[in-house]
Structure 1
Amino acid sequence: MAKINLLPWREELREQRNQEFYVAIGIVVFIAAALTYLVSSYYDGALQAQTYRNNFVTRETQVLDEKIAEIRELQDTRKELIDRMEVIQKLQGNRPVIVRVFDDVARSMPDDLFLTTLNIVGDQVTIEGLAKSNNRVAALMRNFDSSEWFDEPELKRVKATDTGVNEFEVAMKRIEPKADADKEAP
């Protein structure tokens, strides 16, 4: 005899396949969600680690910038101190020269001639004064011309005043006298 299955086996098979399909979809969704969570967690961790490194580098850069600024300030201070030392050395080196210049000016002054202004800028010396006659100014010019501390004296002006004296102005160069060894060399 022939067997006839009147049970709805196709529907049961279909339902079983649907259930297997839904289980497979659920497993795939679960695996996709887990993978998404893991990848997201990995990249979040990597991002946090990189942010920490960036913050560390930024802090260290700021510390180094402060040290660089301090070094620049120290270099500027050092340069200023060196400049001051050079100025002091020049002043100390020129101290005897200025004394000799004033001494030579005093020795070059003829009688009846008075200085009102003595101005020294660099190696340029300017003298203003009063003289009773033009001959006294000429004598002053000769004395400066024969001096070993002054060179190229030039009479800038002579002006007679109502009081009977002459106002004058003389400009010249201040020079360092040559050593005796230079004078003896042929």
Structure 2
Amino acid sequence: MILINLLPHREAARKRRRENFYASLGAAALAGGLIAGAAFAWLQTQITDQQDKNSLLQAEIKKLDVEIKEISTLQAEIAALRARQQAVEDLQGDRNMPVHLLNELVRQMPDGIYLTSMTQDNRTVTVQGMAQSNERVSELLRNLGNNSPWLLKPELIEITASTVALSARDQRRVANFKLRVGIKRPTDDQKKDAPANATAPAAAKG
């Protein structure tokens, strides 16, 4: 006996395929939603962790800023103390500067020179006087520049010729001169020696 199926099997097959497609589509949408939710939750966790790290770093930076300010204050105090110490040392050295100046002028003064005035401005001394000749002035400048441990950089400002009346009949030509010379502090040599002494231990270690 032959059985013939008169039901619309093509429509039923299409319906099944459509149902399967919708079911697959729904499953894909659900899976996508779960994945997106998991990714969002993971990103939120990462953002929260990073914000916590940023807060910790900001707190540490604030602490470091406070420490840096304290260090800057200490450095300023140290610099002020060094400046005061240097000022005291300079004052102590300056007490003996007039003594050294007068001693050196007496020692380095050649014969035939007479000083008329002397003024000091800080560490510069201006000397005026009379000499028997220009050669005497040149000798004085050489002595001050080469032979004196306390005087340095002598500089002739001006020299003019004039006459001096020793008596009614005796007149002599002289050279009026004006020169400038610097004075060394005793601490100047110590400052020069300090860097050499500081590098000596380092060289010994090497």
> If the TM-score is normalised by the length of the shorter chain, which range does it land in?
0.5 to 0.7
Q: Partner of 1:14 in structure 2?
A: 14
* 1:95-114 per-position Cα deviation (integer Å, ceiling 9, x unaligned): 2x14646987xxxxxxxxxx
Query: Which whole-Å CA distance do the structure 1 matches of 2:128 and 2:161 have between them?
Result: 11
Relative contact order (alpha carbons < 8 A, sep ≥ 6): 1 or 2 greater?
2
In structure 2, what residue type is equivalent to 1:118? Answer: T
In structure 2, what residue type is equivalent to 1:85? Answer: Q
Question: Relative to 1, partners in 2 of residues 1:2 and 1:100: Cα closer, same or farther, differing over 3 Å?
Answer: same
Query: Which whole-Å CA distance do the structure 2 matches of 1:12 and 1:42 have between them?
Result: 45
User: Which runs of 5 or more structure 1 residues have no equivalent in the other structure?
Assistant: 105-114, 135-140, 161-166, 177-186
* 1:69-90 per-position Cα deviation (integer Å, ceiling 9, x unaligned): 4323421331232122022122
Question: Relative to 1, partners in 2 of residues 1:149 and 1:100: Cα closer, same or farther, differing over 3 Å?
Answer: farther
Question: Relative to 1, partners in 2 of residues 1:150 and 1:80: Cα closer, same or farther, differing over 3 Å?
Answer: closer
Give the number of aligned pairs. Answer: 158
CA contact (8 A) 1:149 1:174 kept: no
Q: Partner of 1:121 in structure 2?
A: 122
User: Which runs of 5 or more structure 2 residues have no equivalent in the other structure?
Assistant: 104-115, 133-139, 163-175, 186-206
1:85-124 aligned within 5 A:
85-95=85-95, 97-98=96-97, 100=99, 118-122=119-123, 124=124
CA contact (8 A) 1:151 1:173 kept: yes
Query: Which whole-Å CA distance do the structure 1 matches of 2:17 and 2:183 have between them?
Result: 118
In structure 2, what residue type is equivalent to 1:121? Answer: N
Q: CA deviation at 1:174?
A: 5.3
Q: What RMSD in Å do the two structures reach over aligned CA positions?
A: 4.9
Query: Which whole-Å CA distance do the structure 2 matches of 1:59 and 1:126 have between them?
Result: 63
Query: Which whole-Å CA distance do the structure 1 matches of 2:183 and 2:4 have between them?
Result: 141
SS at match of 2:52: helix
Question: Relative to 1, partners in 2 of residues 1:151 and 1:39: Cα closer, same or farther, differing over 3 Å?
Answer: closer
CA contact (8 A) 2:118 2:125 kept: no
Q: Partner of 1:71 in structure 2?
A: 71
Q: CA deviation at 1:11?
A: 2.5
Q: Partner of 1:38 in structure 2?
A: 38
| Percent pairwise identity | 23
- TM-score, length basis structure 2: 0.49
Q: CA deviation at 1:13?
A: 3.7
Q: CA deviation at 1:3?
A: 2.4
SS at match of 2:37: helix
Query: Which whole-Å CA distance do the structure 2 matches of 1:10 and 1:89 have between them?
Result: 114
Q: CA deviation at 1:25?
A: 1.4
Which of the pair has more CA radius of gyration?
1
SS at match of 2:2: coil
